[in-house]
Amino acid sequence: MSASKKTVLVALALTGAMIGTAALAQSKGMWGEGRGGMLTEMFEAIDADSDGKITLAELEAHRKAEFAAADTNGDGALSPDELSAHQLARIQARLAERTQAMLDNMDNDGNGSLSEDEMGKGPGERHFARLDTDNDGAISKAEAEEAMQHRGKRGHGGGMGNN
């Protein structure tokens, strides 16, 4: 395979990874803070000179650094395993941040863990009456699907932790 074809394939693979990350970042809750969440989350990391602005050069340098970090075998190409590992590491980092935020906000007794009482009611329990549109004391699959469609129309993501 020619060097130019390899370059195009690598660029396409990296673009796919970035699109996947952007899709995750667009959902609220665990993965990001809505549209543009990925850029605002990563702003400080991209803004290398900390001047409060991102230049095209900073963006390119960040992209190259991300690629190099993902290319664990240093062959200049990202295998499916390398792409998956890189994305998983990012997801795990975000999950660790969210977990710590939950503990910080909900651990009332300060013991470093959450009891059932500290966890409180989940969104389904809090919104049960609203979801049970036919008031039969149960939520049908159709009612759940309708609620998710309505939620999507209001511009909310569907990630974990959305209340």
What mean pLDDT do residues 80-100 have?
94
Rounded to an integer, what distance in angstroms lies between the CA atom of residue 130 and that of residue 144? 10
Chain centroid to CA 101: 15
63/4 same-domain check? yes
| pLDDT surpassing 70 at residue 35 | no
122 three-state secondary structure: coil
114 occurs within a structural domain? no
Rounded to an integer, what distance in angstroms lies between the CA atom of residue 78 and that of residue 68? 9
Rounded to an integer, what distance in angstroms lies between the CA atom of residue 125 and that of residue 146? 17
59/27 same-domain check? yes
Per the structure block, which two tokens stand in for 116?
Answer: 């059932």
Rounded to an integer, what distance in angstroms lies between the CA atom of residue 74 and that of residue 126? 50
92/148 same-domain check? no
Chain centroid to CA 15: 17
What mean pLDDT do residues 19-38 have?
47
| pLDDT surpassing 70 at residue 150 | yes
**In 27-119, which residue ranges form alpha helices assigned H by DSSP?**
37-46, 56-70, 80-106, 116-119
Chain centroid to CA 66: 17
Indicate the pLDDT class of residue 154, thresholds 50, 70 and 90: low
77/100 same-domain check? yes
Indicate the pLDDT class of residue 108, thresholds 50, 70 and 90: very high
54/24 same-domain check? yes
Sign of CA dihedral 137, 141, 143, 149: positive
Helix (H) or strand (E) holding 123: helix 123-126
| pLDDT surpassing 70 at residue 28 | no
125/73 same-domain check? no
Of 62-66, 80-84, 116-120, 132-136, the least confident: 116-120
Per the structure block, which two tokens stand in for 80?
Answer: 């499916």
Indicate the pLDDT class of residue 138, thresholds 50, 70 and 90: very high
| pLDDT surpassing 90 at residue 77 | yes
What mean pLDDT do residues 140-149 have?
90
Work out the percent of the chain whose per-residue pLDDT is above 70: 69
Question: The whole model's pTM is what?
Answer: 0.52
Q: Which domain holds residue 67?
A: 1-109
Residue 71, pLDDT score: 96
Residue 112, pLDDT score: 92
